[in-house]
Amino acid sequence: MVAPLGRERRWRREQADRSPSRGVLVALVLACAVLVVLDKQGGEDSPVEAARRAVGEAIGPAESFSAEVVAPFAAVPDFFRSRDSLRDDVRELESENQRLRAEARTVDLDRNRLAAYDGLARTAADTGYSLVPARVIGVGPRQSFSQTVTIDAGSSAGVTPDLTVVNDDGLVGRVVRVTRTTATVLLLGDADSVVGGRLSKSMELGFLRGRGEIGSEALLDLDLVDDTVPVDEGDVVTTWGSEGGGPYVAGVPIGEVVSVTSSPRETSRTAAIAPYVDFTALDLVGVVVPGGTTSDRGLLSAEEGR
Amino acid sequence: MTAARVAAAGTLVVVAVVLQVSFFSHLAWDGVVPNLALLVVVGAALVRGPQFAAGLGFAAGVLLDLAPPADHVAGRWALALVLVGWVAGQVRQELRPSVPFVLATVGVCSLLGTSVFALTGVLLGDGLISLPDMVQVIAIALVWDVVLGLLVLPATMLLLRRLHPAGLAW
């Protein structure tokens, strides 16, 4: 109403608003830098880990609740997709059937491979581990350039860091940190993920690295320790595990070799591995815990599962 | 009133972060989800100016950095969103901003936020990925943010404007 006065007051406020904002900006940027340095240098016992845990305790249940609420809505696109996807499934199964028939005809169905599978089954039965069932309640955005998910099982369910996470297709990843009710899982495809892998056919060892890719076509790189070993497409890669089962237990199927590239200059060979697990459609997973772990939910033991 | 405003902005940020990981992950396009926290910060900047928005950006960024399943070096999203809040605050206008203006701001801020995050990752050697992948992610994020900004920003701005002290409203 009193235009000049109003304008002046507004202008003053503008000044008050804008001039100190540079100071505020500098302070906030410095705060960010401090946070980065603390987290980067501190490692496992930095104060940032404590903060992460505290935030996780608070946000975890909210994520859990939200995942529960949106689950029915999230399934909606599937209703519309179902007919098309069923048709796709039929086509896929038919082609797979054909391939399997052709394979069955080749009578010398690799005895070697069969032995490997047998061994695999035996390892799985012998490990004596149990599974904590859990559901994925949060997926890290790809903008963050790391591939992690939150699951709804935490320390009260017997989950601790550095445990193997699997689903019914194979290896999913490992637990990197836990809160009481949730755990963060680093997926195989993350660029920071390194897993010891073994070619089931030749029993050769190598290291699998994620490429930071996501989606159904995402691949992993297998660097073989001994690069004179023959590697064929379709070879199955399983984990070779480390002492005490952490972070990865032995004998969990990871994926199949889809292509092999060798670079004469580096005298090394790299195989591209297609993981069995579809990381874009993760839902029910199991965390491999040592037998006898106390948990607030029913554990699946290896014998029951089979 | 100030406390109410801070509480409202804080609640918006928490809701945004939670929805981002639990709901929008189902709608993810090539793994990229709309950055709701960034949209809330831009909304706050357009209503409240750079100082408030930079502070809110810091809070939202720290939450994004720490809330599970985040596993990158903490402080990266915080830095990105502080800059976003500050830059968006610079273009705040006296008058109610028009839709194209708001969307343009969102676009610039999305580019800025995602790029700053990606670049700090390169500088810190954290979660390295290839350049084409990075460009692709930034582009998809831009589209997502602008599309969702159409819905989220008017609501955010309306809420924050409502909580504005009556005498200072413009």
| Of residues B158, B170, B24, B20, the one with CA closest to residue B102 | B158
Give A-chain residues touching B73 at CB under 8 angstroms: 36, 39-40
Per-residue pLDDT band at A306 (split at 50, 70, 90): very low
Q: In this complex, do A70 and B141 lie within 8 Å of one another by their Cβ atoms?
A: no
Per-residue pLDDT band at B8 (split at 50, 70, 90): confident
Tell me the shortest Cα–Cα distance from B155 to chain A, in angstroms.
20
Give residue B122's Cα distance to chain centre.
21
Distance CA B36, CA B19 (A): 8
The token pair at A22 is 């540079």
pLDDT (mean) for B130-145: 88
Residue with tokens 């169905």: A109
Q: Considering CB atoms only, which of A63, A143, A186 is closest to B117?
A: A143
| pLDDT the model gives residue B49 | 85
Tell me the shortest Cα–Cα distance from B122 to chain A, in angstroms.
11
Beta strands in A76-216 (DSSP E): 130-139, 148-151, 164-166, 171-178, 183-187, 194-199, 205-210
In chain B, count H helices and then E strands. Answer: 6, 0
Give A-chain residues touching B72 at CB under 8 angstroms: 144-146
Per-residue pLDDT band at A102 (split at 50, 70, 90): low
- DSSP code of residue B168: G
Distance CA A71, CA B26 (A): 9
Per-residue pLDDT band at A1 (split at 50, 70, 90): very low
Residue with tokens 């405003």: B5
Span A42-65, pLDDT tens digits: 767 778 888 888 888 888 888 888
Nearest CA in chain A to B49: A17
pLDDT (mean) for A179-185: 91
Give B-chain residues touching A40 at CB under 8 angstroms: 73, 124
Q: Considering CB atoms only, which of B73, B82, B170 is closest to A40?
A: B73
| pLDDT the model gives residue B167 | 41
Span A72-99, pLDDT tens digits: 776 666 666 666 777 777 788 877 777 7
Residue B12: its H or E element: helix B2-22
Check if B58 contacts A (Cβ < 8 Å).
yes
Tell me the shortest Cα–Cα distance from A236 to chain B, in angstroms.
26
| pLDDT the model gives residue A125 | 53
Nearest CA in chain A to B126: A192
Residue B13: its H or E element: helix B2-22
Counted across chains A and B, CB pairs separated by less than 8 A come out at: 200
Bond preceding residue B69 cis, omega within 30 of 0 = yes
Distance CA A83, CA B123 (A): 47
Q: In this complex, do B75 and A20 lie within 8 Å of one another by their Cβ atoms?
A: no
Distance CA A200, CA A114 (A): 10
| pLDDT the model gives residue B116 | 92
Phi first, then psi, for residue B23 (nearest 5°) are -95, -50
Q: What is the ipTM of this complex?
A: 0.81
The token pair at A275 is 């993981």
| pLDDT the model gives residue A108 | 46
> Are the C-beta atoms of residues B127 and A146 closer than 8 Å to each other?
yes
Span A136-166, pLDDT tens digits: 888 888 888 888 899 988 889 889 888 888 8
Give A-chain residues touching B133 at CB under 8 angstroms: 212-213
Per-residue pLDDT band at A109 (split at 50, 70, 90): very low
Residue A94: its H or E element: helix A76-105
pLDDT (mean) for A189-209: 84
Span B74-123, pLDDT tens digits: 899 999 999 999 999 888 776 777 888 889 999 999 999 999 999 998 88
Mutate to test the interface with A, among B14, B20, B25 (most CBs of A within 10 A): B25
Check if B164 contacts A (Cβ < 8 Å).
no
Distance CA B80, CA B109 (A): 9
| Percentage of chain A modeled with pLDDT above 90 | 3
pLDDT (mean) for A110-124: 52
pLDDT (mean) for A17-29: 74
Higher pLDDT, A102 or B15: B15
| pLDDT the model gives residue B85 | 92
| pLDDT the model gives residue A38 | 86
Which residues are bridge partners to B26 per DSSP? Answer: none
Distance CA A156, CA A297 (A): 9
Give A-chain residues touching B62 at CB under 8 angstroms: 35
pLDDT (mean) for A235-242: 82
CB atoms within 10 A of CB A245: 18
Give A-chain residues touching B30 at CB under 8 angstroms: 142, 214-215
Higher pLDDT, A177 or B95: A177
pLDDT (mean) for A108-117: 52
- A107 pLDDT exceeds 60? no
Check if B69 contacts A (Cβ < 8 Å).
yes
pTM beyond 0.80: the answer is: no
| pLDDT the model gives residue B57 | 93
Q: What angle do CA A167, A170, A172 make, to 5 degrees?
A: 65
Give A-chain residues touching B137 at CB under 8 angstroms: 142-143, 145
Residue with tokens 């969990």: A252
The alpha carbon torsion through B122, B124, B125, B129 (nearest 10 deg) reads: -30
Single-letter code of the amino acid located at A279: F
Tell me the shortest Cα–Cα distance from A37 to chain B, in angstroms.
9
Give B-chain residues touching A56 at CB under 8 angstroms: 66-68
| pLDDT the model gives residue A41 | 81
| Of residues A179, A178, A146, A31, the one with CA closest to residue B70 | A146
Q: In this complex, do A215 and B23 lie within 8 Å of one another by their Cβ atoms?
A: no
Per-residue pLDDT band at B27 (split at 50, 70, 90): confident
